[in-house]
Structure 1
Amino acid sequence: MFTGLVREVGRVEAVERSGEGAEIVVAAELARELGPGDSIAVDGVCLTAVDTAPSRFRAQAMAETLRRSTLGELAAGARVNLEPALAVGDRLGGHIVQGHVDGVAEVVGLAAEGFARRVEVRPPARLLRYIVEKGSVALAGVSLTVAAVAESTFSVALIPETQERTTLGELAAGSRVNIEVDVLAKHVERLVREYVHNLPAAGAGEAGR
């Protein structure tokens, strides 16, 4: 589990693709904290470190992960947001992020807003129902607060700290970013749907009274 608070921006050193997936080598200082088998979020995608060194780690991404996220577009030199898995006792400063990306969203607009930068994002249509004003969403692994929701888009505001410490400061119109919606919203929807489906039909049980 993660919180969406990026610890470091790493740099992709190599991507080796095959029909089964890809192996990704990332240079990062926090690699010294990792061991084989540890989880790390790369641009919001939970991956397992399979090999580590003091200044880099190697992780594997299966074909499904490459299809559902921007990791399939990575190339050597790309900058990626990194967050190690949450440890017991760590501060939960963002929100509950699983690293299970729901899809890829597109940036459709940017505008200055005081010292912040407002970013308008179009998510896959099936995800918009999980996004609510002042709720939480993770973009490229960064925990953000939803500023506004429109018919097919939503907006977030990036403070200077977020722009400087993550790759979100590099966003432009047309940029594609991994999106993970609030897992609590998905669970609530599933529970409510099951409850509604199991309700007796109107008038059921009335006969014979």
Structure 2
Amino acid sequence: MFTGIIETLGTVQEIRKNEDNYDITIASSITNELKIDQSVAHNGVCLTVVSISDSKYIVTAIKETIQKTNLSDWNVGDLINLERAMKLGDRLDGHIVQGHVDQIGTCKNIENANGSWYYTFEYNPDLRNLTIEKGSITVNGVSLTVVNSRKNEFSVAIIPYTYENTNFKSIKIGAKINLEFDVIGKYITKLQSNY
């Protein structure tokens, strides 16, 4: 489990295809605190650390993960939002995040709002995910509050701290992003579809 509060940024050093999997090498300032078999969220995708060497570590993404996330768009040099799993007893500053991406969205608009930014994302409504005003959403692993909610799109407001300390500064219009919808909303949708 995660909170959606990004600890640091990592940089993609290498992406190696290994049969249907990707072995991804990441350099980060927290590498020396990691251990093998630890779960780390990478742009909201929970991946297991399989190797550590100096300031770099390797995670493996399986075919299903690659197909359901924006991992196939990653390139060497990309900045990746990183968060280690939450500790029991710590404050939950974001919201409950599983690290299981529900679907990919696309950045539709970025509006400069005099010191902050509004990002609008669209997604496929056929997958029955939903947002609500003032509800929680995870975009590339970042816990955010929905500002504007429509059938297949929503907006979020990004403050300067989030802009500078996550990879929001590198998101452009047309970019594919990982979305994890609020877990409570997913359960309600599932229950409702059973009746």
- Shorter chain as normaliser: what TM range? over 0.9
Partner of 1:187: 187
Q: Given residue 72 of structure 2, which amino acid in structure 1 is its aligned partner?
A: G
- Structure ID, larger Rg: 1
Q: Judging changes above 3 Å, is the alpha-carbon distance between structure 1 residues 89 and 53 closer, same or farther for their aligned structure 2 residues?
A: farther
Offset of residue 149 of structure 1 = 1.3
Aligned residue number for residue 161 of structure 1? 161
Instruction: Compute the displacement of 1:53 (Å).
Output: 3.1
Q: What amino acid is aligned across from residue 147 of structure 2 in structure 1?
A: A
Q: How does 1:1-209 map to 2 (within 5 A)?
A: 1-127=1-127, 129-194=129-194, 196=195
Match of 1:172, SS state, is coil
CA drift of 1:128 comes to: 6.3
8 Å contact 1:11–1:28 — kept in the other structure? yes
CA contact (8 A) 1:128 1:152 kept: no
Change beyond 3 A, Cα 1:111–1:128: farther
Q: Secondary structure at the match of 2:30?
A: helix
Code of the aligned partner of 2:160: P
Q: Is the 8 A contact 1:127 1:181 kept in 2?
A: no
**C-alpha distance after superposition, 1:23-66 (max 9, x if no partner):** 00100011111111000001110000011234111100001111
Equivalent residues of 1:29, 1:54 under 8 A apart: no
Larger CA deviation: 131-140 vs 183-192: 183-192
Deviations, residues 5-25 of structure 1 (Å, cap 9, x unaligned): 110111011000133211001
Runs of 4+ in 1 over 4 A off after TM superposition: none
User: 1:135·1:145 contact (CA, 8 Å) conserved in 2?
Assistant: yes
Partner letter of residue 187 of structure 2?
H
TM-score (norm 1): 0.89
Q: TM-score, normalised by structure 2?
A: 0.95
Shift of 1:87: 1.1
CA contact (8 A) 1:107 1:122 kept: yes
CA contact (8 A) 1:128 1:153 kept: no
- Equivalent position SS for 2:17: strand
Cα shift readout 1:68-116 (whole Å, capped 9, x = no counterpart): 1111221211110000111112221000110100111001111122321
The aligned residue for residue 207 of structure 1 is none
Residues 35 and 52 in structure 1, CA contact (< 8 A), matched pair in contact too = yes
CA distance in 2, matches of 1:160, 1:29: 21
Structure 2 residue matching 1:143: 3-state secondary structure: strand
Between the two structures, name the one with larger relative contact order (CA 8 Å, sep ≥ 6).
2
User: Which ranges in structure 2 are unaligned for 5 or more consecutive residues?
Assistant: none
CA, structure 1 residues 129+98, in 2 after alignment: closer, same or farther (shift >3 Å)?
closer
Q: 1:191 to 1:128 in 2, by over 3 A?
A: closer
Task: Please tell me whether the aligned partners of residues 128 and 189 of structure 2 are also in contact (alpha carbons under 8 angstroms).
Answer: no
- Give the distance between the partners of 1:128 and 1:106, measured in 2 at CA: 17
